[in-house]
Chain A
């Protein structure tokens, strides 16, 4: 079974631009969560999508948004990029949503390394 895929793997953007990252979950998984990982802050939860609905959101500004499609693929968008947005963005998929049952072991994709200059 194929794992979680993320595209692109690397991205360089300029301050003020916007960016869209894509995540395809493991086949059959309906939940996709997004995380930001930086050396200083570690792994921080951005949001979770389950069945095309945002189920939960972390403490990030409104510049960070996402969506999920009917095939469970998810996109994350960051508008008006800032230098501090440089990070590894990881998505993780799980069979069920974080709010349902116990089947929420998450499996991570390889990540998208975003550099903002």
Chain B
């Protein structure tokens, strides 16, 4: 089992729809969770972080964390073509390393 897994892509959604990106992790002691967006040929850009169970909203982005289920998700409301990118889930583990998932490619169709 990989330490951080993400739903396989590519994920295609129409413009204006909600994009849902999922991530599961294996280290139950993990405390910090991050979502990065990476455009092709660019470096990852931090868009959300969440430490507590529940939802955290920032503009069109909502991160959801459920530590009991070892699950973290990212919702993008009113998806725009500019949201088309690879989304990386990252988890800071109990052994002080940040482990990245393989990424989910999102394509927003105009």
Contacts and interface: CB of A to CB of B under 8 A. Distances in A.
A4 B98 CA distance: 18
Interface stretch (A11-19, A62-70, A75-83, A107-115): A107-115
Interface string B94-110: 01111111110000000
Kindly state the interface size class of chain A when it binds its partner: 20 to 34
Given A104-B92, A110-B43, A98 B97 contact: yes
Secondary structure call for the A interface: strand
B100 A42 contact: yes
A105 B51 contact: no
Contact of B32 (A55, A102, A109): A102
Contacts of B97: 45, 48, 56, 58, 98
A56 B32 contact: no
Contact of B98 (A45, A88, A110): A45
Contact of A42 (B49, B51, B96, B103): B103
Interface residues of B, number: 23
B46 interface: yes
Contact of B96 (A88, A90, A98, A111): A98
Which of A33, A44, A90, A104 has most B Cβ within 10 Å? A104
Nearest to B103: A42
A44 B32 CA distance: 17
Closest 7 CB pairs of A and B: A43-B100, A108-B43, A99-B96, A98-B96, A42-B102, A111-B43, A108-B44
11 contacts: A35-B100, A42-B102, A42-B103, A43-B103, A45-B99, A56-B96, A90-B43, A106-B90, A108-B46, A109-B43, A110-B42
